[in-house]
Protein backbone atom coordinates (compact mmCIF):
# COMPACT_ATOMS: atom_id res chain seq x y z
CA UNK A 1 0.00 0.00 0.00
CA UNK A 2 1.25 3.45 -0.86
CA UNK A 3 2.13 6.05 1.74
CA UNK A 4 0.20 8.56 -0.36
CA UNK A 5 -3.13 7.84 1.29
CA UNK A 6 -6.36 6.77 -0.30
CA UNK A 7 -6.36 9.35 -3.10
CA UNK A 8 -2.64 9.12 -3.83
CA UNK A 9 -2.38 12.84 -4.45
CA UNK A 10 -1.71 14.61 -1.15
CA UNK A 11 1.86 13.45 -0.63
CA UNK A 12 2.61 13.74 -4.34
CA UNK A 13 1.42 17.35 -4.36
CA UNK A 14 3.47 18.19 -1.28
CA UNK A 15 6.54 16.53 -2.77
CA UNK A 16 6.07 18.32 -6.09
CA UNK A 17 5.61 21.72 -4.44
CA UNK A 18 8.72 21.12 -2.34
CA UNK A 19 10.68 20.18 -5.45
CA UNK A 20 9.55 23.31 -7.28
CA UNK A 21 10.23 25.50 -4.25
CA UNK A 22 13.77 24.17 -4.06
CA UNK A 23 14.33 25.34 -7.68
CA UNK A 24 13.33 28.97 -7.06
CA UNK A 25 16.18 31.29 -7.97
CA UNK A 26 18.30 28.52 -9.46
CA UNK A 27 19.26 28.50 -13.11
CA UNK A 28 19.15 25.51 -15.37
CA UNK A 29 21.15 24.76 -18.46
CA UNK A 30 19.50 25.92 -21.67
CA UNK A 31 19.62 23.14 -24.23
CA UNK A 32 19.30 23.37 -28.03
CA UNK A 33 16.58 20.70 -28.07
CA UNK A 34 13.71 22.86 -29.37
CA UNK A 35 15.67 24.02 -32.38
CA UNK A 36 17.01 20.53 -33.04
CA UNK A 37 13.51 19.04 -33.00
CA UNK A 38 11.54 21.82 -34.72
CA UNK A 39 14.21 23.26 -37.00
CA UNK A 40 13.66 26.78 -35.71
CA UNK A 41 14.79 28.66 -32.62
CA UNK A 42 12.52 28.72 -29.57
CA UNK A 43 10.42 31.75 -28.70
CA UNK A 44 9.38 33.28 -25.41
CA UNK A 45 5.99 32.91 -23.80
CA UNK A 46 5.47 36.65 -24.38
CA UNK A 47 6.02 36.13 -28.10
CA UNK A 48 3.53 33.25 -28.13
CA UNK A 49 0.94 35.37 -26.30
CA UNK A 50 1.36 38.24 -28.77
CA UNK A 51 1.05 35.88 -31.72
CA UNK A 52 -2.11 34.21 -30.36
CA UNK A 53 -3.87 37.12 -28.58
CA UNK A 54 -6.68 37.24 -31.13
CA UNK A 55 -7.59 33.63 -30.37
CA UNK A 56 -8.38 34.71 -26.82
CA UNK A 57 -10.44 37.75 -27.81
CA UNK A 58 -7.70 40.34 -27.45
CA UNK A 59 -6.38 42.67 -30.13
CA UNK A 60 -3.05 41.66 -31.65
CA UNK A 61 -0.03 43.29 -30.05
Residue-wise pLDDT for 19-60, tens only, equals 999 989 888 887 899 999 999 998 889 999 999 999 999 765
User: From its phi and psi, is residue 25 left (phi > 0), alpha (psi between -120 and 50) or beta?
Assistant: left
pLDDT grade, residue 8 (50/70/90)? low
Residue 1 has pLDDT above 50, yes or no: no
Residues in Cβ contact with 34 at an 8 Å cutoff, skipping those fewer than 6 apart: 41, 42
Q: How far apart are CA 29 and CA 20, in angstroms?
A: 16
Residues 54, 55, 56, 57: what is their CA dihedral angle, to the nearest 10 degrees?
50
The single-letter DSSP state of residue 59 is: P
Residue 4 has pLDDT above 60, yes or no: no
Amino acid sequence: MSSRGSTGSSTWVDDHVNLLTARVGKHTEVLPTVEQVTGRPPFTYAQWVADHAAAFGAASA
